[in-house]
Structure 1
């Protein structure tokens, strides 16, 4: 399964916003500078997180982004689903019914395909794992110096 870079960008921005929680909303350009990302593209990646209620967008000249919920209330699955969408990674098209399968008795296809079942179980395990981890878990596992580095960088940029 291949996820777009927007997932990584979104998660890192969420962590930075958590570390800067006592600050005013952080503008897109500032978040982009913290990670040396293109601001226009980053803004497009953050908008789905606003729609999903992970981030809050504050309009105006002093506006920007902040977390909309506490870090312990945002799962990694929340971010992945917001950025990538909730569609399943594997979609069975029932090719087993074509070609040689077209000659099979109708009852042979009464049960779901074993391949589709295996793929569904694997995806559910992946989704459960992401849903069991929160931003708070990532914050706790972050290197001790990371929050301070982000804060100092933000301050050097005029924050």
Structure 2
């Protein structure tokens, strides 16, 4: 299964937003700059995250994005479904019933075994993604980071975070 680049961008963006102060927001342009991605492409995914209730949009020239829920309440599955949509990755179109020399419909009374296997794998994949929160990713990074990654993010936020309470 291949997920679009937007999933990676969305997960990293949500992770970055988790580092904001309680009254802080970050613009889409700043998020795109930090990750070295196209602002217009990232904006599309931020809108999807907003529509899914993962991020909150603050309008206006000093506006931007912040998390709509706490990092413990946002899972990787939430982000994947927001960006990619809820449809299963595998979609059975019953090609086993096509082609020359058709056989009786009674032979297709049971669901396609290939479809069943693929849906079972997707359920396992989604279950695993639902077990990993943004807070879990932050904790894992804290264990592996020598401080360089955290310092890079903090320095960027220091320059680009906008405060909504006009401080």
Query: Shared fold by TM > 0.5?
Result: yes
Within the alignment, does 1:117 sit opposite 2:113 as a pair? no
Aligned residue pairs, count: 158
Alignment of 1:144-155 (within 5 A): 144=145, 145=147, 146-155=149-158
Equivalent pair of 1:16/1:147 in contact (CA under 8 Å): no
**Normalising by structure 1, what TM-score?**
0.91
Query: Shift of residue 101 of structure 1?
Result: 6.2
Whether 1:12 aligns to 2:15 is no
Name the Cα RMSD after superposition: 1.7
| Structure 1 residue ranges without an equivalent (≥5) | none
d(CA) in 2 for partners of 1:53, 1:158: 21
Equivalent position of 2:46 in the other structure: 46
Distance of 2:95 and 2:102 partners within structure 1: 10
Match runs of 1:2-151 below 5 Å? 2-22=2-22, 24-99=24-99, 102-103=102-103, 105-142=104-141, 143-144=144-145, 145=147, 146-151=149-154
Task: Using structure 2 for the length normalisation, give the TM-score.
Answer: 0.87
Q: CA deviation at 1:38?
A: 2.0
CA contact (8 A) 1:20 1:151 kept: no
Q: Report deviation, 1:107.
A: 2.2
Unaligned runs of 5+ in 2: 163-167
TM-fit CA distance, 1:158: 7.3
